Structure 1
Amino acid sequence: MLRIAWQTLRRSRAAFVGAFVALLCGAAVLTASGVLLESGLRATVASERYAGATLVVGAQRSLRPPGGDVTTEVRLPEPVTLSEEVRAAIAKLPGVDSAVGDYRVAAAVRAPGSATRPAAVSGHGWGSAALTPLELVDGRAPESDSEVVLDAGTAAAAGLGVGDDVEITVRSVPSLYRVSGISSPAGGVAFPRTSPVYFTDREAGRLSGHAGHFDAVGVIAADGADPEALAEAVAHAADTPLTVREGADSGALEFADVGASRSLLVLVSSAFGGTALLVVVLVVGTTLGLSVDQRRREFAVLRTLGSTPGQILRLVASEALLVALVGGVLGSCAGFGLAEFARGLFVRLGALPADLPLAFSPLPVLASVALTALAAAAGGLAAAVRPAVAGPVEALRESASPPRDTPRWRRTVGLVFLVLGLSTAMVPVTVRGELGAAGTGSAALLLVVGVALLGPFLLRRLLAPAAALLRRSRVSGFLAAAATEAGLRRLNASVTPLALALGFTVTLVYSQSVVAATAQEQADRALVADLVVADTASGGLAPEVVDAVRSAPGVAAVTELVDTTVFVPYRVFDDVDLATCPARGLRGADPAATVDLEVVDGDLADLEGETFALERSSANLMGLRVGDEVEVWLGDGSERTLRLVAVYERGMGFAAVTVPLEVLDGHTAADAPTRLLVRSDGDPEETAAALGRLAEEYPTVSVTDRAQAAEASRTEAELAAWINLAGLAMIVAYLAIAVVNTLVMATAGRGREFALLRLVGLTRGQVMRVVWVEALLFVAVAVLLGTAVAVVPLGVLSLAFLGGPLPAGPPWVYLGAVAATAVLGLVSVLLPARLAMRAEPVEVIALRE
């Protein structure tokens, strides 16, 4: 059968061009999704400070709750340290020459008396210098806790040398140290990412806040040791789970932003990869259905000659698989370039570091080829069932006059998809946030699938009024109405991708604008403080800085704030799942003086000790009420039992979970508040001036007013929206290609019809007018259906989030999408129609069908 299918493909290349293009582009999108997903799992950057280590050991930064499967495993966003006991156990292993613990201290450096803002650096103990290794180009190692070694680049930028004093700020508090030495990596090549400052090991432990617990342990192997065997031994050296990487491949352990970027890639690629798969299946199925429909006469002849339904179905499946294999392989190669383009978008948005490369392997290619082959086989078989099972006489009759009724099974399944789409559209009513907005996009996609399955059944009823009007018009209108009613299957195949492109694009853009507008509105209302004091350069705000702000003139209330993530378990049937919740820790005598979360149950005043507050829709989703006790996991994997004391409304603008700051003490990277919300008891400008003078004493501290804080919040919300849009841009581009491909394919297959019209007396211009009327008609139907599938989900989302049916965002987005849809539709129909009529009608009619 494969040999016959191959011969059919070689003889009838034109019939399979559209399917080939759809499969090729679909494989490219799926491969790009797979590459981004794989990169999120294993991409890294070259190690710098650990380049001389044989192995680098870190704590396992993943969490899987008891009773959960592999799909519930999440990455921990906060650092997890290793104890001195673990380091000592590793050092005792055979084949280990030394095991060096490394502290990481967020710090900032400048010359004493300088008016410039301190430059961010990374502080470490001098003992970890052996892991690079480093060379002292001047001076000596630090011998007292008041001495440091500076990186050569840092020293040159600050204009410092050996013997000079240097101001180093940690947790906003500046201290003076003496420069005892200047270091440089072996070979004199500067670090592209790191600007290290080396303290004594004891001072680095003190500044880290967790002396005796290391951020990582570097292992230097003894001469002759087998690295693979040593890595296996190190992984089992302690009771706690460990992550072991080779020194040159330990960038994810060395750089925190690499781990965060990898998590983002996994999240984005998983989200739009699933959507891309559904879109590809729909587009490929529609395209192959059109291809099979154009070959009904061929199948009718085969049935007349004695071919069985099974033989025809196997032939169609074989043809689809062959086209899918060729298109899938070629498309997968293009997918690598598409993934690199997507990475570039994320880099320009600031979501990924520029030096984080993609991880390439054959796995995404194999997966995309397999998926496109399955989609092609399923689409081809579904379209070929009717002509294959029809009797020979019935098959010949249907080849001349295709059936106009939609099969009952398609109507049933289509109605099921419509019900599912409408049900999914209601998700934002009960679920606020990104999850609810994701339901909006899924609803639009399900509704389009339902419309595509209902096919001629739906189109006939939509077109009946227009067809009745056209029959009363000139010849072109009459013929357009007749052609439209006779070719409902072709029209359905043309309308589906056009409606999907419009509906999906409009839903995608406006759902993001609704989420951003809601988050911004809630953030504006949640923040009632007059000023915000922050430090993001030196690891947070030390207690003495907090006390200084509290005692500043005009300050009435201060609330300490820390951002983190917590994980709340909940059950789905009998399975345990984890809800990943953005969280904030609060500490202050009166949080209500600086934040208004619109509490709907309980009281934020009870937020002390082992308690927490939860956003309303999350509480409803998890079935939690005030007073319930819940086992939660903090950002570093620590398990705590917290009691729910309040449920509030403004989770999107603040955080889904709010906990007392003491619950987070010792469990966040900064281990200190990063922001202070300040309420003034008088003129906020005078209070801001007083805090500004305080900031001169603490050089990494910044003071902003409510308007500036709101602008920063708006920028964060817009960035999140752009990241989602960039991740889904490939799907929109694929839809545009699919629209052009399907319409060109449908129009090019009408060459004999156009030739026949010209032979019975119509001029080329009259035929083109008929095509114009048809094109305008089906574009109007596509716009109507695309708008309809977007209106319901967006209306529900806007009502739930904004309180009104109109989504946030400029109207030109919708108008532009409609204009683009019209241009794509008209050009994709009119241009191939004009090309199809360049040949003489007699020549076209004489060609073998």
Structure 2
Amino acid sequence: MFQAIGLPKGIAPQAPPDNVLLMPMAEWQAIFDPQKAARPDTVKTEIHVQLARNALPPDPSAAFIQAQRLANNLEARVAGSAVIANNLAARLDGVRADALYARVLFLFLGVPGIVLALLVTLAVAASGSDRRRREQALLRIRGASLLQVLGLAGTEAAAIGLLAIVLGLALAGTTAIAWLHLADLRLAIPWFALAAGVGFVLAMAAFLVPAWRDAKLLTVSAARVDANQQFPLWQRLYLDLAFIMLGAIAFWSTAKSGYEIVLAPEGVAQTSVHYEAFLAPLCLWLGLGLLSVRLYRLMLGPGRRAVAVAIASMSYDLSPLVAASLSRQRLRIARGSALVALAFAFATATAIFNTTYNAQSRVDAELTNGADVTVTGTSTHPAGTLLKELQAIPRVVTAEPMMHRFAYVGSDLQDLFGINPAHIGKATTISNAYFAGGNAAETLALLAGTPDGVLVSQETVNDFQLQPGDRLNLRLQSAADHQYHVMPFRFIGVAREFPTAPKDSFLVANANYIAEKTGSDVAEVVLIRTSANAESVAAAARQTAASLPGMKVTTLRETQALISSSLTAINLQGLTTLELGFSVLMIVGVTGLIMALGLAERRRNFTILSALGARPGQLGVFLWSEGLLVVIGGAILGIVAGFGLAEALVTILTGVFDPAPEALSIPWLYLALAVAMALACGAAAIGGAQALSRKPDLEALRGG
């Protein structure tokens, strides 16, 4: 009723009034109608109007425009005889800005997955490139025209692409309906069509472009040259190092500028998106992928002797031969390992970011609620009078009283919290991020050692130009006469956040000093930490507090559900599950499918070795050396890169977290599962290739 939402500047008071009296309308009219008749200018009427929400468009931007136009229409009708406070338009204005938040999270967390899917598509198409190059060279020798060569390549690409699109759309539709509970699949049709179009064009290009390039730019003999001897243009231009340097510069610039995606001017959260911030993680991710290709080519080229030494324990006297075989296949192995590294980097970075976000959402809920269970009373019926009864409730670890008063800083009325600095941390989490110095223990110790000390918000420091040690005269209400009196405090530090405190301006001081100066030691709030389900403790607390009017009991779970329903505190649980599942599928696809296709291309070599008398164990040395090199090497590179990318993401998106995390939350179980899945899929692909190589295959011997 008294918030200045949607009002023009200068109309609303700086702070809500603290001397409000509510009465029935009939009684109000009996008292003030004579005054209204004599002095109409001294009486104001406020009319609250609720619009039909179902008549507004579902899009926040369109709904904001419509709500604003309705207010403009009314403003034209009243012709200046009333001031219109458009609360709905003000809220929708914030929502349409916050809607960018979802786009930001998608760009940071989803786009790498899309890029990875495109790279896997190209890798699948490229897995048969050597075979197609030889076949197309043979066709050209026999007189096939360019159109005929491209027609055959296009037919193969269209068949594979259409089959993959049908399977992919079926999987996407099933996921959208069964998992995401999409009621109307027609909403997703444009995105499905876009994905199908991009996938089909990419599949066609992956087949047709190499075929056209080989036919136009290479002779028949050149088309049969080993691709391992050719260095791609990006490697000659050192694009991998350029991407990494560009990403590092972009990250340094973004971190130095203190980019905050969520801004809260005057406590109203809004979203500000700087798209250049996406350059850092994207460039680092691409640069690390290309760098892994370079490193593998160097390791399997000039460094193949070191590889022979490394695999000597499992290959015995075959290590030089195995190393030479790996060196000959170094481009294909490097590409496969790079894809594995990118898949693990995407999975690791996404998992760490989402786990950290979910962990911080609980911290945010605790910051808002105060503790596992919070009992809030009033100045006339404080919750502190029930402290002993609340401490006696089963499964209560500790219950800590906290004062919640109000104080004037100049003419600004602010929340004042009185605490026991030595004990407040037993009932609630006091994070280092709550304080400007970044050290909660030191700040609370300083407050405990300064009886008249007070911690103020950064906004108050800026508004009143405070310096540490300054005397700060606050006006607090005395329990003796219920009037506000000036009481001296000493400014000792800045509190950015505090449990149950508002986002903009508040004060934190010693409860004993407040009690001494005001003549009242009552605590309006009790913070409770539980050892088990907080809901049962809250139920018992409600029974205990039922006898006192105005008592309110809230739990951490209730608060978390409330704040997670806002766009400024998006619930990532569903997105997390979907992304982590997609990451595992990408890892499975890369390690299993790519390795299986690569080994299938070399089936002829293994069949020849088997025909020459190679034992199964000797064939296994070739297969397992390559598999372990691709899977384990790619996993190590990817996980290390993922940790770095996660740190960059958390640093860039600091504003997403409220408060900022003190350290990354690592999902070790998920990472172990991802590595186990990769090893299992790689082992399955190697086992299948090993089984096929034992069987005589005349067609395989004729191939190539």
Range class of TM-score, shorter chain = 0.5 to 0.7
Contact 2:631/2:682, CA 8 A, preserved across alignment: yes
The structure 2 residue matched to 1:844, chosen from 690, 695, 700, is 700
1:784 corresponds to: 636
1:403 pairs, out of 219, 223, 228, with: 228
Structure 2: distance between partners of 1:339 and 1:361: 8
**Match status 1:481 vs 2:298:** no
Shift of 1:483: 1.6
Match of 1:659 in 2: 504
| Residue 214 (1) aligns with residue 65 (2) | no
Identify the residue that residue 137 of structure 2 maps to in structure 1. Answer: 300
Give the partner amino acid of 1:834: A
Is the 2:311–2:625 Cα contact (8 Å) retained in structure 1?
Answer: no
Q: Which has the higher helix share?
A: 2
Which position in structure 2 is the counterpart of 1:343? 180
Match of 2:340 in 1: 498
1:286 aligns with 2:123: yes
Q: Report the Cα distance in structure 2 between the residues aligned to 1:702 and 1:752, rounded to whole angstroms.
A: 73
Match of 1:366 among 163, 181, 193: 193
1:154 matched residue in structure 2: none
In 1, Cα distance between the equivalents of 2:638 and 2:105?
25
* Alpha-carbon spacing, 1:394–1:464, altered in 2? closer, same or farther (3 Å): farther
Cα distance change, pair 678–813 in 1 and its aligned pair in 2 (3 A): farther
- Which of 224, 229, 243 is the matching residue for 1:417? 243
Structure 1's 728 and 423: CA in aligned 2 closer, same or farther, altered over 3 A? farther
1:702 matches 2:526: no
807 and 360 in structure 1: CA distance in 2 versus 1, 3 angstrom threshold: closer
2:668 corresponds to 1:831: no
Q: Deviations over 1:415-457 (max 9, x none)?
A: 3333345456655674578999988864664345424664863
In structure 2, relative to structure 1, the CA distance for the partners of 1:314 and 1:330 (3 Å cut) is: same
SS for the counterpart of 1:294 is helix
1:447-846 to structure 2, matched below 5 A, reads 447-451=287-291, 454=294, 457-460=297-300, 465-470=306-311, 474-516=316-358, 532-533=374-375, 548=380, 557-558=403-404, 588-590=414-416, 597-599=434-436, 604=456, 607=459, 658-659=503-504, 696-698=547-549, 701-702=552-553, 720=571, 722-735=573-586, 736-794=588-646, 807-809=664-666, 811-838=668-695, 840-846=696-702
Q: Which moved more, 1:446-455 or 1:401-410?
A: 446-455
**Contact 2:356/2:664, CA 8 A, preserved across alignment:** yes
Distance 2:221 2:692 in 1: 34
Counterpart Cα distance in 2 of 1:290 and 1:767: 21
Aligned runs of 1:35-54 on 2, under 5 Å? none
Matches within 5 A, 1:199-348: 211-216=47-52, 238=70, 240=72, 272-305=109-142, 316=153, 319-321=156-158, 323-343=160-180
Q: Which residue of 1 aligns with 2:18?
A: none
Cα distance in 1 for partners of 2:73, 2:497 equals: 34
CA contact (8 A) 2:285 2:342 kept: yes
Partner secondary structure for residue 588 of structure 1: strand
For residues 649 and 500 of structure 1, do their structure 2 counterparts lie closer, same or farther at Cα, with a shift above 3 Å needed?
farther
- Letter in structure 2 aligned against 1:825: G
On the 8 A contact 2:379/2:524 being kept in 1, the answer is no
Aligned-CA RMSD value? 5.8
CA distance in 2 between partners of 1:762 and 1:363 (Å):
55
Q: Is the 8 A contact 1:421 1:442 kept in 2?
A: yes
Cα offset for 1:724? 3.9
Which residue type is aligned with residue 180 of structure 2? R
C-alpha change, 1:821 and 1:440, in structure 2 (3 Å) is: farther
Quick one: which amino acid aligns to residue 215 of structure 1? L
| TM-score after normalising by structure 1 | 0.49
Partner of 1:57: none
- Consecutive unaligned residues of structure 1, counting only runs of 5 or more, are 1-77, 82-143, 147-208, 220-233, 243-252, 345-354, 535-544, 561-585, 614-646, 662-675
CA gap 1:403/1:335 in 2 versus in 1, 3 angstroms? same
1:748 alignment partner AA: A
SS in 2 for 1:590: strand
1:729 partner amino acid = L
Unaligned runs of 5+ in 2: 8-23, 27-44, 56-65, 75-88, 263-272, 388-400, 407-411, 425-429, 439-454, 466-492, 516-520, 529-540
Normalising by the residue count of structure 2, what TM-score does the alignment of the two structures yield?
0.58
Q: State the 1:304 CA deviation.
A: 4.1
On the 8 A contact 1:317/1:380 being kept in 2, the answer is yes
Q: 1:337 to 1:264 in 2, by over 3 A?
A: farther
Please name the residue that 1:129 is paired with: none
User: Residues 595-651 of structure 1, C-alpha deviation per residue, up to 9 Å, x if partnerless?
Assistant: 9942479x94685899899xxxxxxxxxxxxxxxxxxxxxxxxxxxxxxxxx97857
Q: Deviations over 1:173-204 (max 9, x none)?
A: xxxxxxxxxxxxxxxxxxxxxxxxxxxxxxxx
Distance, in Å, in 2 between the alignment partners of 1:312 and 1:241 is 67
Distance 1:280 1:475, change over 3 A: same
Report the Cα offset of residue 827 of structure 1. 1.9
Aligned with 2:227: secondary structure?
Answer: coil
The C-alpha deviation readout for 1:827-849, integer Å capped at 9, x for no partner, is: 222223313433x1445313x55
Whole-Å Cα distance in 1 between the matches of residues 220 and 140 of structure 2?
Answer: 9
Cα distance in structure 2, aligned partners of 1:828 and 1:799: 39
Q: Which residue of 2 aligns with 1:376?
A: 203
Q: Is the 8 A contact 2:403 2:418 kept in 1?
A: no
Higher strand share: 1
Equivalent-residue separation in structure 1 for 2:195 and 2:675 (angstroms): 31
Q: Could you report, residue by residue, the CA deviation over 1:83-108 in whole angstroms, capped at 9, with x for unpaired residues?
A: xxxxxxxxxxxxxxxxxxxxxxxxxx
Percent identity, aligned pairs only?
17
Distance 2:498 2:197 in 1: 39
Change in 2 beyond 3 A, CA 1:533/1:447 = farther
- The 3 A distance-change label for structure 1 pair 326 and 821 is closer
**Structure 1 residues 779, 610: CA separation in 2 closer, same or farther (over 3 Å shift)?**
closer
The residue type equivalent to 2:48 in the other structure is: G
- Answer whether contact 2:165 2:199 (CA < 8 A) is retained: yes
Letter in 2 for 1:467: A
SS at match of 1:659: coil
Structure 2 CA distance for partners of 1:762 and 1:284, relative to 1, 3 Å: same
Alpha-carbon displacement from aligned partner over 1:213-257 (angstroms, at most 9, x marks no partner) = 1132789xxxxxxxxxxxxxx999946499xxxxxxxxxx9xx9x
Equivalent in the alignment of 1:641: none
